[in-house]
C-alpha cells in the first residue's frame, strides 16, 4: 500500500553472458571484464504496478527486459506456480498496451510545418481502406505484386528549414493512419507548430512518458542506479512530491 493506493513494486534483472563490453581507461588501453562462470552482466529495471488502473509504470533500461520479455516472464512464472493446478489452466493470457499521450497527440491538429512522414505496411495487416489516399494503396499493390512481406516509405523535406510537406494532404494521411492503426506496422511523423522545435510523433504508439534525472553525488565515480533510489524517485514522481503527479496524468489518459 503506497499513498493510500494498492501499488506493488517489482525489480527485474536480465542476466547476459554474451556481448560482454570492454573497459577503457584514459590511456586508451582496453581490458576484458573478468567474469567467472557463474557471473553475468546484469541489466535491471524497476516498476510500479497500480491495481486501480491495471497499469505498469516502468523505469526504462534499454539493455534490460523489453515489454515482450516482461510478458514472457509473467507467463513462465504463472506456469510454474500453477503446474499442479487440477483445473488444467496453465496459460496466462496477458497483454500490455501502451498508455497513449493524448495531450501530445492533440498537438497534431496544430502542426503547420510537416518535416517528414514514415509509413510501413506489412502483408497480413488489415487492408488500407479503399477510400484512403490513393498513394498508400499503390504501395500496398507494389508489395503484393513483388510478393514481398513489408514495404516502407519515408517522405521528407530534406535539410530545408523553411519548406513543409503539403499540409492538408499530410494531415489527411496522419488522420487516416490513426483511424486505421491495424493497417500499418509503423507510422511516424516529424513536425512543428509555429516557431517551436520540431517534434517526433508516433501515430500508432505515442506512449505517455516522463524523464527523471538522477544525480551521482560521488564525483569521479561512475555508479549503477541503486534499486532503492529508483523506487524512491518513482514514488516521488508518481504521487507528485515534486511537480505534477504522474498518476493524475495517467488517470486522464487511460
First-last CA distance in the chain: 21
pLDDT at site 12: 87
Enter the DSSP assignment of 169. H
Residue 115 domain-assigned? yes
Residue 85 CA to residue 162 CA, distance in Å, equals 65
Claim to verify: residue 93 and residue 215 sit in the same structural domain: yes
- The residue that leads in pLDDT, 51 or 139, is 51
Element of type H or E holding 136: helix 134-145
Residue 185 CA to residue 67 CA, distance in Å, equals 17
pLDDT at site 155: 92
Residue 59 CA to residue 224 CA, distance in Å, equals 14
The residue length of the chain stands at 254
Number of domains in the chain: 2
Claim to verify: residue 121 and residue 183 sit in the same structural domain: yes
Rounded to an integer, the average pLDDT of 10-31 is 75
Q: Which three cell numbers stand for residue 11?
A: 525489480
Range of the domain at 13: 7-97+209-251
| Bridge partners for 195 per DSSP | none
Furthest CA-CA distance within the chain:
67
Claim to verify: residue 123 and residue 182 sit in the same structural domain: yes
Mean pLDDT of the chain: 82
Claim to verify: residue 125 and residue 79 sit in the same structural domain: no
Its pTM stands at: 0.69
| pLDDT surpassing 70 at residue 3 | no
Give the lowest-confidence range in 34-38, 92-96, 131-135, 187-191: 131-135
Claim to verify: residue 110 and residue 156 sit in the same structural domain: yes
Claim to verify: residue 183 and residue 221 sit in the same structural domain: no
Task: Give the model confidence (pLDDT) of 38-50 as tens digits.
Answer: 888 888 888 999 9
Task: Give the model confidence (pLDDT) of 56-114 as tens digits.
Answer: 888 877 788 888 889 998 888 888 887 766 666 667 888 888 888 888 888 998 999 99
pLDDT at site 148: 86
pLDDT at site 177: 86
Instruction: Please check whether residue 165 is in contact with residue 173, taking contact to mean a CB–CB distance below 8 angstroms.
Output: no
Claim to verify: residue 242 and residue 171 sit in the same structural domain: no
Claim to verify: residue 112 and residue 184 sit in the same structural domain: yes
Claim to verify: residue 222 and residue 243 sit in the same structural domain: yes
Dihedrals phi, psi of 163, to nearest 5 degrees: -70, 150
Residue 69 domain-assigned? yes
Amino acid at each position: 500500500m503506497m499513498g493510500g493506493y494498492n501499488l506493488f513494486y517489482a525489480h527485474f534483472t536480465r542476466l547476459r553472458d554474451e556481448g560482454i563490453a570492454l573497459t577503457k581507461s584514459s590511456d586508451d588501453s582496453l581490458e576484458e571484464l573478468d567474469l567467472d562462470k557463474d557471473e553475468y552482466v546484469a541489466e535491471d529495471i524497476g516498476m510500479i504496478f497500480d491495481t486501480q488502473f491495471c497499469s505498469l509504470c516502468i523505469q526504462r533500461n534499454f539493455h534490460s527486459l523489453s515489454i515482450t520479455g516482461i510478458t514472457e516472464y509473467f507467463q513462465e512464472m504463472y506456469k510454474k506456480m500453477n503446474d499442479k493446478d487440477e483445473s488444467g489452466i496453465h496459460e496466462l493470457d496477458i497483454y500490455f498496451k501502451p498508455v497513449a499521450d493524448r495531450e501530445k497527440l492533440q498537438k497534431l491538429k496544430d502542426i503547420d510545418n510537416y518535416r517528414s512522414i514514415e509509413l510501413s505496411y506489412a502483408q497480413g495487416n488489415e487492408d488500407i481502406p479503399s477510400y484512403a489516399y490513393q498513394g498508400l494503396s499503390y504501395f500496398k499493390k507494389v508489395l503484393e505484386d513483388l510478393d514481398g512481406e513489408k514495404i516502407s516509405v519515408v517522405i521528407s523535406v530534406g535539410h530545408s528549414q523553411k519548406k513543409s510537406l503539403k499540409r492538408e494532404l499530410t494531415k489527411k494521411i496522419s488522420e487516416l493512419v490513426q483511424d486505421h492503426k491495424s493497417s500499418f506496422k509503423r507510422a511516424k511523423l516529424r513536425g512543428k507548430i509555429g516557431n517551436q522545435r520540431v517534434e517526433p510523433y508516433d501515430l500508432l504508439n505515442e506512449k505517455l512518458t516522463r524523464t527523471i534525472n538522477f544525480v551521482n553525488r560521488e564525483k569521479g565515480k561512475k555508479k549503477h542506479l541503486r534499486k532503492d533510489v529508483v523506487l524512491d524517485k518513482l514514488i516521488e514522481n508518481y504521487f507528485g512530491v515534486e511537480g505534477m503527479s504522474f498518476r493524475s496524468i495517467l488517470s486522464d489518459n487511460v
